[in-house]
Structure 1
Amino acid sequence: MRFNFVQLRAFVAAAEALNFTVAADRVHVAQPTFSATIRNLEEVVGARLFERNSRKVRLTQLGSEFLPLARRVLDDVERAGSVMSDLVSMRKGSVRFSALAVLFADQLQPALQHFRKTWPGVRLELFDYTSGPALDQLRREQVDLAIVTELSPEKDMHYDGLCERSIVAVLNPEHPLAREPVLAWERLLKEPTVLLQGGGPLGHYLDQCLLEAGMQLMPDYRVDQIHTAAGIVSVGLAIGVMSNITASALEKLGLVVRELHEPYITRPLSLAHLADRELSPAAQQLRTAVLERWQGGTLLKAVRG
């Protein structure tokens, strides 16, 4: 049984007015067209919904039972239209966004502040996944956008480049190597080291690059939390090995960041989303805000300077 929105709207108008001429005027159609619409609906239903003669119109028993159902459908359609209007106009909705925890404290603040101020009705859900888990969550459609380290071309992802993410050394300022403007890997590998999040995609890429250069990093400590790495470096137990973006947060704690070269290891940091999924209006606006207000350029200058 298939009836359409026009038929239901005409039926409810006729049921409320109990006059086809008045009801036709309410839905802005000619009376003959209106009558034909009601007849077509009755054919679809398979029974008469109105008893009518030259003097009056009234609902049949079946029509009386059908009326609340028709009203409910029309209300649902109206609510759906209202919700869609809110989503398209961004009065409501949600965006799920992931980035490295350190980025929320600095580089992303202008974009997030602009988004929250401009679209206060949109719920912004934030996650601090590292690159591997973030890509998994994108594929599962659990997040809409994610900032990740772009390690290799992946056809199911669309990437917008933000900046280069390089591997750097973090030292206690009293360490003898802290006086060097840059450090060679060969020199670093002679020192105790602590590797931050070495089990992720960037860590595997680091191992591959060093192996191709005939080197191997055997860290004395492997940790997952930045504060753990900072503590080990602060007391002089080891030199930290991590990305420049993560290391930038430790400069504020008084630690020293030095670029590593020979080889110089870098990969793009990108804003990613599924290539075959169209972003919602809200997600598209957040993407635009991040790309327009990203502060990565100043970060790279600070780390390399």
Structure 2
Amino acid sequence: MNINCEILDLRAFLLVVELASFHRAAESLNLSQPALSRRIQKLEGSIGAPLLERTTRHVAPTAVGGELVPLVRRMLEEFDGSLFAFRELGERRGGLVTIACLPTAAYYFLPSVIRQFDAQYPNIRFRILDLPATDGLQAVARGEVEFGVNIMGSSDPDLTFDRLIEDPFVLAARKEHPLASRDVLTWQDLVPYQLITVHRSSANRILLDASLTKSNLALRWSYEVTHLSTSLGLVEAGLGISVLPRMATPQGDHPFLVTRPIRDPEISRTIGVVRRRGASLSPPAERFMRMLIETWGDASTPRMAT
């Protein structure tokens, strides 16, 4: 099914949302208010649902309109970027790559590859949405980004996953903690100590609990937090130990913390590239994704701090 709308219809919709005013949007577009209203109505007719809620004093997107906003914004940015790229004579083409990435993976995977990519394509801009796993998958599924770097585990048939790396869960503790003197630990070794863990709604926690349940094991936690960085802060303060993906722990020689592998069983999360099935990437995004996979595919995780 084809959606019959014009670029100006999309610009009109986005500007009304951003300015929260038909009057100011019409002035910005050099349109009369009736002409602007007709464009919005035409777009709503094409979509098949109201996109804006209007009162005499207020304009806001409906639920459908709110979902459409990030997609329209990305479409217009890519369209404008493509037009500007064609205007650049004697230079490499410009463009925009928008991706969603786990915060820990964004820190670990992206900088070196972006540096390498920028050396070859200096006019490409990046928008990186560092989002939790569930939000990142939704951003990919809704088309807000071209692809994502995320945890494997989604059963969404509209998404595909290309494996990059295994990221094992490890113990994080202060250097003077009794467990820090051990080279390798089991999950039972953690039982006597106060444990700091992320919230049960976290994708990392869901994966960890499910894997431990298969081995008839369970974590007894004393502190539950939302972000991995917070758990490290509590560990550093001496309030307990934590189990984290290795990628989320300090790399190199940390002044206070060490990490140790945990066995029986060894549990890891699989990090990879997530895309919408059948969706075409822009040329810059396609090149960057291929470079990311070539650089990190089947790579080893970093060595643990000792």
What TM-score results when the alignment is normalised by the length of structure 2?
Answer: 0.65
Report the Cα offset of residue 226 of structure 1: 3.6
Aligned to 2:165: 163
Aligned to 1:175: 177
Report the Cα offset of residue 251 of structure 1: 5.6
Q: Does the alignment pair 1:303 with 2:298?
A: no
Q: Does the alignment pair 1:233 with 2:239?
A: no
Q: Does the alignment pair 1:129 with 2:139?
A: no
Q: Does the alignment pair 1:188 with 2:211?
A: no
Change (3 A) 1:296 1:304: farther
Letter in 2 for 1:180: R
Give the Cα separation in 2 of the matches to 1:123 and 1:189.
48
Aligned to 2:211: 209
**Any idea what the Cα deviations from partners look like across 1:155-198, whole Å, max 9, x if unmatched?**
32222211112221101010011111111111212211111354
Gaps of 5+ in 1: 1-78
Q: In the comparison of the two structures, how many residue pairs are matched?
A: 225
Of residues 113-122 and 284-293 in structure 1, the stretch that sits farther from structure 2 once superposed is 113-122
Contact 1:259 1:304 in 2 (8 A): no
Give the Cα separation in 1 of the matches to 2:261 and 2:296.
22
Give the Cα separation in 2 of the matches to 1:204 and 1:122.
36
Report the Cα offset of residue 120 of structure 1: 2.3
Of residues 167-176 and 106-115 in structure 1, the stretch that sits farther from structure 2 once superposed is 106-115
Give the Cα separation in 2 of the matches to 1:274 and 1:86.
30
Change (3 A) 1:86 1:126: farther
**Where do residues 81-120 of structure 1 align in structure 2 (5 Å cutoff)?**
85=86, 91-120=93-122
Contact 2:166 2:301 in 1 (8 A): no
SS in 1 for 2:135: helix
Considering fraction of residues, name the structure with more helix: 1
Contact 1:248 1:299 in 2 (8 A): no
Contact 1:197 1:203 in 2 (8 A): yes
Give the Cα separation in 1 of the matches to 2:135 and 2:235.
27
Pairwise CA RMSD of aligned residues?
2.9
Aligned to 1:257: 259
Kindly, what percent of the aligned residue pairs are identical? Answer: 23
What TM-score results when the alignment is normalised by the length of structure 1?
Answer: 0.66
Report the Cα offset of residue 304 of structure 1: 9.2
Give the Cα separation in 1 of the matches to 2:246 and 2:194.
19
Gaps of 5+ in 2: 1-79
Report the Cα offset of residue 136 of structure 1: 0.6
Letter in 2 for 1:130: P
Give the Cα separation in 2 of the matches to 1:81 and 1:254.
49
Give the Cα separation in 1 of the matches to 2:82 and 2:154.
42
Change (3 A) 1:215 1:115: same
Give the Cα separation in 2 of the matches to 1:261 and 1:156.
35
Report the Cα offset of residue 81 of structure 1: 9.1
Contact 1:194 1:240 in 2 (8 A): yes
Give the Cα separation in 1 of the matches to 2:265 and 2:84.
54
**Any idea what the Cα deviations from partners look like across 1:48-88, whole Å, max 9, x if unmatched?**
xxxxxxxxxxxxxxxxxxxxxxxxxxxxxxx999568579x
Change (3 A) 1:92 1:237: same
Contact 1:192 1:239 in 2 (8 A): yes
Change (3 A) 1:281 1:145: same
Letter in 1 for 2:98: R
Report the Cα offset of residue 247 of structure 1: 1.7
